[in-house]
Structure formats: structure tokens, C-alpha cells
């Protein structure tokens, strides 16, 4: 439809019809017809109102969406199609590894391919918008939603945020426009900074940190053309984001020129009342719309009060017109006025869902995202020797729930478990494998003292399978016997998938107790232990590392988890991941992240810790595994770092041109392998503190054994600049330091003077 026609449509609509384009309700209203119960509570709708609704969420599957769409268009006075939105966070039916895992692949291409495949499946099943990517920077693994983020680095988050937006749009260039879905960047802004890692709390911070660390990924997502932005639950500067004029109007709309659809988070308009910034729902509707929130997700504030607010002159009619027009424009961009079903048929849907190509991509992604944390010894256990007799143990051996709490449209029946993949391999390669779970996923003891009481009060007993006794002796005995009879024990441990995700904050970051008990018992029977760790967040893995010769982190790997992990274990692929979020030494350290500020009292290196320095007296300052860390099946060295010039002049334009940085990278091991070379910059002291280091570039390099290559990076204004309070990038005069290495703790710094 042409813009003029769209405008004509808007002009022909009544105020009520426009208002209801701004109302989003859960899918159940369309599925169960609860709208017609007739009870007039704030959350009930009449049949007439239901027919006017602009968008819904949580419904997928072409049969259902098409039927609802058809009915809706017949009933709507102007036959305006409904928008179907859903949280497609890491795939629809084919679950790819979680976003935090994709962050570890350091690969915009991989992110683009996975989001593009997810868009393909989603569009075929009748969806139009995904509430993704979540571009919240994260530093605190207690927060359950770190699994939805790309990690702790502003530069990487921005790059992968762009890749996601492009991917959902069908970014590989092969996906026709109709198989795109609109993306919705969330949660604007700084939701990832939840205080003490507890969901839905405050996220207060300085405007400098907000600007330099948290905003860059959202900005990049907007620049990449995201169709929607979602406001967050938290407050910034004491003002909840959904009613924060400075954030939504001055920053998002005016400074960044975002003209797409701005949606609230679920009931976050209603929460303006609960948080005490609005006296009632009517006031909340007024504030949210005036701040630029176009769609009210599920609070019913707009449905109940917006019409009256306009009629009584408290909200300008033009505000409603503008918001409704944005919603109509989105429907138009998606082609819904021409074809409300966008060419999807049940045949197309069947072909696209869980296609061979999507499964192959998911399997490859598992390999690229998994991080080898430890592989010790002269003869490391991984990859497994083909003749070795392997016992597979742990609760994740049989589990088909390898996706996160967010993969709500995934069917575990489609998932390949470790046991299934291993059995297939045993058949095709004649390998010798034994299986014994050893324990279930969680137990009451995980909750510590007074567990009975706490479980009733706080735990999700109804959803997370829980063993009521500490250890099932028979299960344990069977696993220990298997370990005694094996050369190598692969123990598959981790958090249950519902232990991370929304509303799943944790105060402890260790594995469930009985899993650690299992590990200890296996270790007494056989020292050749490979631990495979499933998780949605960084964990305290000290004990796991002490008791294992090798540790492979596989996150929540998704539908092809079993196959991908077996590829890694036998060395058909190598773990390509490097941590995009630090793994703490223990929970007392968090938030712990590599790009923290410097201190006036640094801890002296290699000496006993004196008092009155910035250090703990009982634990190290450094995380157990730092940002950027990950091993290969071979080893690499980086040496001979040099610059094309050690000194350069800053021009009046604020630019210094370009400098090249070089380093020599060598494969010092016995296998061909790939590694990630990372370039960090440390800024000179200027008017305010700077992070001790910042990732500014990275590159993957594959080398044969003994092969050595020179790698080159270009350093320009983007790499050295930082965002000033004027929102512009600045390079300052002084001594910058540059490091090139294999993780963020690299010590190889050289100096670059800007004069």
C-alpha cells in the first residue's frame, strides 16, 4: 500500500479503532474466547473490542495464526490484519544455541545465519515480529537473563546486535523479503544491570556508564534498521523506562531518529502505578503515550483509558494518530495488506520447520559456540581417542531438554540427546560407549538449610524435576561401576534449563549439589574425567575444574546439541567458542568483568596481598576464566607485536589517520586448529576514568601445526575513540596502549602516543 493510501486508511478510522491498534493482548484471548465472558474487569474485552485489537503475542503455527487472521480481518470494520508477535529468542522449532553461546562464537556471520533461519521458520508459521534481539549488556551472572544477551562487551554486543537485526530481516541475501520477521530490540535501556542480579529491580548507573557501555548496542540495532524497540522494566535515574521521557523521547526518538514502533514490556505501563510514579492506570496510559510508547503490551491501560484521555484533552489526538500510523506502517512494510498470510501454506511451513539445512546449521553452531575451558596433561583427554572405552554419565546424558526456558516453541522430541548421538556413532564407528546417568538434575539439598520450607516458598517444584533425597544410591552405584570399567568418563552436568531465563535469578552459582556429589564419586573411581557443562549463565566451576582433566562448556545448545557435542568430543570439529562473559571465581566476586575501571590502589602482582589495596583478602580479583578465554585442541602463541608508527599527530579535525598493528601468531601444537586473535586498547587518562582495557577488534585464524602468520589490524578513530557527553566519538592526546593476544588477560602491551 502506498503511504497516501495508508494515511487515507488512518483518516477513515474512528478514535477507538486507532486506540485499539495500540493494544496488544496475549494470544489466549483469541484461542479461548475469554473476551466474551462478559465480566467487565479491567482485563476483559467485549467481542467488538477484540475485533479491533492491533496485535497479539505468543501464538504460532500456521493453522492457528491463519485461522485467527482470517476471522479477525472479517470482523474488523476496515479489515486491518492482526500482527502476530512472539519471543523467538534462539530459534522457533529448530533451537540454536542460546544468545550467550552465540556471543562466544565471536561471529556476526553465524548470528546472521541463525537469526535468518529462525526468521524463515517463524514467517512460515505465521509470525510477523520477534521480540529479539535482547541487546542488554550483562555483568552479573546471578541475573537469569544473561542467557539472552551476547555478553559483557559493548563492542561485541553492538556488532552481534546488528547481525541479528540483519539476520531476522533475511540478512543472508538469499531469503526473500516475505520470509523476514521484524525485529524488536529490547529492553531499552540497561535492563541487564539489574541490581544484585535480581530480576525486575532497579538498574541505576552513571550517565557515563550508560552512554559508553550500555547504549552502544541499542544504537547499532537502531542503525541496522530494527523495526521495533521495547522499553524495559527497570528505572534509569529513578524514572521507570516506560515513563522516561528523557530516554524515550530525547534519546531514542530525537537523538537517534528512531521512527519505528516502540512497545512497552509486559504490563510495564501498569507497573508505573505499582512503582509509584503514576497514581492510577489512566495516569500511566497518559504518561506512557506522551513518552512515545506506541503499543501497550498487556496492561490494558490504553484499552481502558486512552479514548477518554483524548476526548478530555489530556493526550493530543495527534499523538494517537502518530502511534497508530506507525503500527499500520509496520503492517504495511511486512506486506500484510497485500497478503495477510504472506504466502505461507502448510506445505511451505512443513518444508521450512526443522529443515535439514537448519539442523545442519544448528549442529555447526554448537561447535562454534562451545568453549574448551580445560584440557590438561601431556596427553589431553579431548578429543577422545578412538579406541578408548567411554562411560557417559550425568543427568544431561539422556536429557532432550537442551534448549532454554525461552525456546517455548521447541519440542524436546525433536532434540538429539547425547545418548542418541553417541549410540549412532558407536554403531557407525564401532566405538565402545557405556551409559549411566548417576543422578537426576536437581535435589532438595540444592536449597541449603531449611530446604523443605524454601522449596515450597521459592522453588519451581512443579516445573523443575527434583529428587527428594540427596543421592539415589542405586543410580550412583551404576555410574561408578561404569566409570570403573571405562578408560574415560564423560560426565554431562549442568543447570536445569528453567534455572536461567526470565525471573530465574540465582544467589548461588554452583552446580546442583547432587551433581557435584556424582562428580566426586566418579573421580574416586576414575581420574580421567571430561566434564561437559550445560548452562544458561557463567557458573562457579572451581570444583568441577579440580575434579576434571577436561572441561567443555556447551551452554544450552539446542535441538542439535547431542550431535554437535559428539562432533566436538571425538574431534570431528573443534570448540570454536571464547567466553563473551567472564566466569567468576565465586559468587562473592560478581559483578566481575574485564573492562572495569582502574583503581588508585591496584593489587601488586605476584606478592602477598597487603591491606589497603583494591583486593579481597580471601579470593583473587580475577575471574576463574576471563572474557575472551577458550582453548583449542592445539595451542597457539602470539608474539612480536608492533605498530606501523609509535607516535602520530592528532589533526585539528580530531582524527589521526590510521596506524597498523601487527603480531605473529603460531600454531605451537600438533593439530591444525583455529583461534581468535583479540586486540585491546587502553585509553590514556583524560577528564574521567576509563576502563582498564577495551576490545576493539578480533579475527579468527586457522593454522597448520608449526605454521606461523603475521596478522594485521587497522587502528583508527573508531578503535581509539570514546563517546563523550556530546554523544560524539573523541580521540584525546596522550599515551594509548595496545595489546594483541588470545584473551583479555593478555599482558603484551605496547604504547602508541597521540601528540
Of the candidates 20, 60, 84, 131, which one interacts with ligand BGC according to CB under 6 A?
131
| Binding status of residue 296 toward ligand BGC by CB under 6 A | no
> How many helices and strands, by DSSP H and E, does the chain display?
24, 28
Q: Which of 87, 227, 368, 719 binds ligand BGC (CB under 6 A)?
A: 87
State yes or no: cis peptide before 616, omega within 30 of 0: no
End-to-end CA distance of the chain: 56
Per-residue mark of binding to ligand BGC, 53-72 (x: CB under 6 A): ----x---------------
Residues labelled as active-site residues: 265
DSSP 591: S
Tell me whether residue 129 or residue 479 sits nearer to ligand BGC (CB atom): 129
* CB 296 to ligand BGC: min, Å: 13
502 binds ligand BGC (CB under 6 A): yes
DSSP string, 408-443: TT--GGGSPPHHHHHHHHHHHH---EEEE--S-SEE
Closest distance to ligand BGC from the beta carbon of 226 (Å): 14
Q: Is residue 136 part of the contact set for ligand BGC (CB under 6 A)?
A: no
Residue (56 or 467) nearer to ligand BGC, CB: 56
Helix (H) / strand (E) containing 522: helix 513-525
Q: Which residue is nearest to ligand BGC (CB)?
A: 131
Three-class SS of residue 752?
A: strand
Minimum CB distance to ligand BGC, residue 197 (Å): 16
CB of residue 263 to ligand BGC, shortest distance in Å:
9
Task: Say which residue the cell 578465554 belongs to.
Answer: 629
Neighbours of 570 (CB within 10 A): 18
Distance, in Å, from the CA atom of 662 to the CA atom of 698, rounded to the nearest integer, reads 13
Cα distance between residue 548 and residue 527, in whole Å: 7
Rule CB under 6 A: which of 549-608 touch ligand BGC?
none
Task: Note whether 414 and 469 are within 8 A (CB).
Answer: no
d(CA 168, CA 479): 44
Choose between 294 and 694: whose C-beta lies nearer to ligand BGC: 294
Residue 59 beta carbon to ligand BGC: minimum distance, rounded to whole angstroms: 12
Residue 406 or 736: which CB sits closer to ligand BGC? 406
- The smaller minimum CB distance to ligand BGC, of residues 106 and 266, is found at 266
Burial 306-335 (b: 16+ CB within 10 A, else e): bbebbeeebbeeebbbebbbbbbbbbbebb
Query: Rounded to the nearest whole angstrom, what is the least distance from the CB of residue 55 to ligand BGC in the complex?
Result: 12
At its nearest, how many Å lie between ligand BGC and the CB of residue 186? 5
- The Cα–Cα gap between 130 and 228 comes to 9
Q: What are phi and psi of 509, to 5 degrees?
A: -115, 20
Q: For residue 241, give the 3-state DSSP assignment.
A: helix
For residues 566 and 386, what is the distance between their CA atoms, to the nearest angstrom? 12
User: H/E/C letters for each residue in 654-703?
Assistant: CCCCCEEEEEEEEECCCCCEEEEEEEEEECCCCCCCCECCEEEEEEEEEE
Interatomic CA distance for residues 447 and 755, integer angstroms: 58
Question: Shortest Cβ distance from residue 199 to ligand BGC (Å)?
Answer: 9
> CB within 8 A of 376, min separation 6: which ones?
549, 550
Q: 49-52 long-range contacts, Cβ below 8 Å, gap at least 24?
A: 49/20, 49/303, 50/75, 51/75, 51/76, 51/77, 52/16, 52/17, 52/20, 52/21, 52/23, 52/76, 52/77
According to the 3-state scheme, what is the secondary structure of 523-589? HHHCCCEEEEEECCCCCCCHHHHHHCCEEEECCCCCCCHHHHHHHHHHCCCCCCCCCCCCECCCHHH
Is 186 one of the binding residues for ligand BGC (CB under 6 A)?
Answer: yes
The answer to whether residue 266 forms part of the interface with ligand BGC (CB under 6 A) is: yes
The single residue among 17, 265, 437, 567 that binds ligand BGC, judged by CB under 6 A, is 265
* Least distance between ligand BGC and beta carbon 113 (Å): 23
Going by C-alpha positions, the residue among 671, 377, 395, 401 that lies closest to residue 532 is 395
Instruction: Report the 10 Å Cβ neighbour count for 387.
Output: 9
Q: Say how far apart CA 522 and CA 613 lie, in whole Å.
A: 41
Total binding residues toward ligand BGC, as defined by CB under 6 A? 7
How would you class 44 by CB atoms within 10 Å of its CB: exposed for 0-12, middle for 13-18, buried for 19 or more?
middle
271 lies in the site for ligand BGC, by CB under 6 A = no
The minimum distance between CB 230 and ligand BGC, in angstroms, equals: 6
- How many C-beta neighbours within 10 Å does residue 718 have? 12
- Cβ at position 193, least distance to ligand BGC in Å: 15
342 is an interface residue for ligand BGC by CB under 6 A:
no
Residue ranges that bind ligand BGC, judged by CB under 6 A: 57, 87, 131, 186, 265-266, 502
Amino acid at each position: 500500500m502506498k503511504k497516501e493510501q495508508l494515511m487515507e486508511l488512518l483518516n477513515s478510522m474512528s478514535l477507538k479503532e486507532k486506540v485499539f491498534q495500540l493494544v496488544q493482548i496475549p494470544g489466549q484471548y483469541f484461542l479461548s474466547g475469554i473476551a466474551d465472558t462478559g465480566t467487565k474487569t479491567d482485563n476483559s474485552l467485549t467481542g467488538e473490542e477484540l475485533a479491533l485489537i492491533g496485535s497479539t503475542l505468543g501464538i504460532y503455527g500456521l493453522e492457528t495464526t491463519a485461522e485467527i487472521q482470517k476471522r479477525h480481518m472479517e470482523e474488523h470494520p476496515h479489515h486491518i490484519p492482526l500482527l502476530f508477535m512472539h519471543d523467538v529468542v534462539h530459534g522457533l522449532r529448530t533451537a540454536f544455541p542460546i544468545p550467550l553461546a552465540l556471543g562466544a562464537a565471536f561471529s556476526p556471520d553465524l548470528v546472521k545465519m541463525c537469526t535468518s533461519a529462525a526468521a524463515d521458520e517463524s514467517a512460515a508459521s505465521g509470525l510477523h515480529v520477534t521480540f529479539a534481539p535482547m541487546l542488554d549488556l550483562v555483568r552479573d551472572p546471578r541475573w537469569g537473563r544473561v542467557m539472552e544477551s551476547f555478553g559483557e562487551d559493548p563492542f561485541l554486543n553492538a556488532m552481534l546486535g546488528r547481525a541479528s537485526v540483519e539476520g531476522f530481516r533475511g540478512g543472508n541475501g538469499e531469503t526473500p523479503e516475505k520470509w523476514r520477521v521484524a525485529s524488536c530490540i529490547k529492553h531499552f535501556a540497561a535492563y541487564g544491570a539489574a541490581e544484585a542480579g535480581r530480576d525486575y529491580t532497579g538498574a541505576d548507573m552513571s550517565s557515563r556508564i550508560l552512554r559508553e557501555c550500555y547504549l552502544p548496542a541499542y544504537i547499532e540495532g537502531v542503525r541496522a534498521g530494527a523495526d521495533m524497540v521495547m522499553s524495559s522494566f527497570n528505572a534509569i535515574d529513578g524514572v521507570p523506562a516506560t515513563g522516561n521521557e528523557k530516554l524515550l523521547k530525547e534519546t531514542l526518538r530525537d537523538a537517534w531518529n528512531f521512527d519505528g514502533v516502540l512497545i512497552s514490556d509486559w504490563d510495564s505501563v501498569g507497573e508505573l502505578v505499582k512503582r509509584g510514579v503514576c497514581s492510577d492506570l489512566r495516569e500511566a496510559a497518559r504518561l506512557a503515550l506522551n513518552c512515545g510508547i506506541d503499543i501497550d503490551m498487556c496492561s490494558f491501560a490504553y484499552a481502558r483509558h486512552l479514548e477518554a484521555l483524548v476526548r478530555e484533552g489530556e493526550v493530543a489526538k495527534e499523538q494517537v494518530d502518530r502511534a497508530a500510523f506507525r503500527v499500520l506502517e509496520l503492517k504495511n512494510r511486512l506486506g500484510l495488506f497485500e497478503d495477510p498470510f504472506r504466502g505461507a501454506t502448510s506445505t511451505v511451513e512443513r518444508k521450512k520447520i526443522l529443515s535439514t539445512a537448519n539442523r545442519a546449521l544448528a549442529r555447526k553452531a554448537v561447535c562454534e559456540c562451545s568453549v574448551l575451558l580445560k584440557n590438561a596433561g601431556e596427553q589431553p583427554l579431548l578429543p577422545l581417542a578412538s579406541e578408548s572405552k567411554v562411560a557417559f554419565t550425568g543427568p544431561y546424558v539422556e536429557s532432550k531438554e537442551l534448549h532454554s526456558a525461552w525456546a517455548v516453541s521447541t519440542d524436546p522430541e525433536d532434540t538429539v540427546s547425547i545418548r542418541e548421538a553417541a549410540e549412532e556413532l558407536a554403531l557407525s564407528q564401532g566405538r565402545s560407549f557405556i551409559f549411566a546417568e548417576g543422578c537426576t538434575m536437581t535435589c532438595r539439598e540444592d536449597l541449603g538449610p531449611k530446604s523443605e520450607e524454601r522449596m515450597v516458598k521459592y522453588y519451581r517444584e512443579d516445573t523443575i524435576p527434583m529428587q527428594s533425597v540427596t543421592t539415589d544410591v542405586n543410580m550412583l552405584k551404576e555410574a561408578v561401576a561404569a566409570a570403573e570399567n571405562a578408560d574415560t568418563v564423560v560426565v554431562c552436568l549442568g543447570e536445569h534449563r528453567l534455572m536461567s531465563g526470565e525471573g530465574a535469578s540465582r544467589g548461588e552459582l554452583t552446580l546442583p549439589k547432587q551433581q557435584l556429589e556424582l562428580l566426586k564419586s566418579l573421580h574416586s573411581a576414575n581420574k580421567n574425567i571430561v566434564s561437559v557443562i550445560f548452562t544458561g549463565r557463567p557458573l562457579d566451576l572451581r570444583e568441577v575444574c579440580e575434579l576434571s582433566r577436561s572441561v567443555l562448556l556447551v551452554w544450552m545448545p539446542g535441538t542439535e546439541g547431542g550431535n554437535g557435542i559428539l562432533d566436538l568430543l571425538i574431534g570431528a570439529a573443534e570448540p570454536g567458542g571464547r567466553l563473551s562473559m567472564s566466569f567468576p571465581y565465586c559468587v562473592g566476586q560478581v559483578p566481575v568483568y574485564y573492562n572495569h575501571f582502574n583503581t588508585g590502589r591496584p593489587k601488586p602482582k605476584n606478592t602477598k596481598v597487603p591491606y589497603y589495596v583494591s583486593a579481597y583478602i580471601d579470593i583473587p580479583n580475577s575471574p576463574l576464566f576471563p572474557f575472551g578465554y577458550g582453548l583449542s585442541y592445539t595451542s597457539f602463541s602470539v608474539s612480536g607485536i608492533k605498530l606501523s608508527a609509535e607516535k602520530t599527530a592528532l589533526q585539528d579535525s580530531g582524527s589521526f589517520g590510521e596506524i597498523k598493528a601487527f603480531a605473529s601468531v603460531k600454531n605451537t601444537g600438533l593439530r591444525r586448529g583455529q583461534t581468535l586473535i583479540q586486540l585491546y586498547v587502553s585509553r590514556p587518562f583524560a577528564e574521567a576514568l576509563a576502563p582498564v582495557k577495551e576490545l576493539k577488534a578480533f579475527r579468527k585464524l586457522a593454522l597448520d601445526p608449526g605454521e606461523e602468520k603475521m596478522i594485521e589490524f587497522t587502528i583508527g578513530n573508531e578503535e581509539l575513540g570514546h563517546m563523550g557527553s556530546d554523544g560524539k566519538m573523541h580521540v584525546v592526546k596522550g599515551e594509548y596502549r595496545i595489546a594483541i593476544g588470545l584473551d583479555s588477560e593478555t599482558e603484551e602491551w605496547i604504547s602508541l602516543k597521540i601528540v
